[in-house]
């Protein structure tokens, strides 16, 4: 690959991007299907949302969460979910994510603060080892409750 092609393949400057390895750990399917599925009215939604046992599960549709406008839309959509619940119980799965920008991390911090302000609970799950390293380096692993799988995260709500 020549230098020009290599430069075009990189994420835009100003983003801290992490690439997951192509070999991903297997993720077990939930033993029980979601009891209800919420389909967001917005056809441009960047999220797959379902509710199971009183826990709202959010999964990203996009593999790359880099674009500022998409990150803002994701934050707004999750914010609406938080505001709709008295004490939100939210699980965010990173199962499909290959790249994550620092702006996305900032949005996660905001989401966490909003959930806690309402007396709710937030869990993160399915974070690949390379992305988890970023959480460790930035000490965000101390802020968030992170679980290896969606199933373990769901069980942790009790």
Q: How many CB atoms lie within 10 A of CB 36?
A: 7
Query: Is 26 domain-assigned?
Result: no
Query: Is 20 domain-assigned?
Result: no
- Taking only the tens place, the pLDDT of each residue in 71-91 is 999 999 999 999 999 999 999
For residue 99, report the phi and psi dihedrals to the nearest 5 degrees.
Answer: -130, 145
Question: Does the pTM of the predicted model rise above 0.95?
Answer: no
Q: Do 140 and 111 meet the contact criterion of CB atoms below 8 Å apart?
A: no
- Which parts of the chain have pLDDT scores under 70? 1-43
Query: Is 65 domain-assigned?
Result: yes
Query: Is 11 domain-assigned?
Result: no
Domain hosting residue 81, numbered range: 45-155
CATH number for the domain harbouring residue 54: 3.30.750.24
Number of domains observed in the structure of the chain:
1
């Amino acid at each position: 690959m020549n230098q020009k092609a290599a430069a075009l393949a990189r994420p835009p400057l100003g983003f801290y991007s992490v690439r997951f390895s192509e070999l991903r750990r297997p993720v077990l399917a939930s033993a029980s299907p979601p009891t209800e599925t919420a389909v967001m009215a917005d056809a441009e939604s960047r999220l797959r949302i379902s509710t199971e046992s009183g826990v709202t599960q959010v999964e990203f549709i996009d593999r790359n969460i880099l674009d500022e406008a998409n990150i803002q839309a994701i934050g707004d959509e999750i914010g609406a979910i938080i505001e709709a619940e008295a004490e939100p119980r939210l699980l965010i799965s990173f199962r499909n994510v290959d790249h994550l920008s620092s702006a996305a991390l900032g949005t996660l911090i905001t989401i966490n603060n909003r959930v806690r302000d309402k007396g709710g609970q937030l869990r993160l799950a399915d974070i690949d080892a390379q992305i988890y390293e970023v959480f460790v380096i930035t000490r965000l692993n101390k802020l968030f409750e992170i679980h290896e799988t969606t199933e373990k995260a769901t069980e942790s709500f009790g």
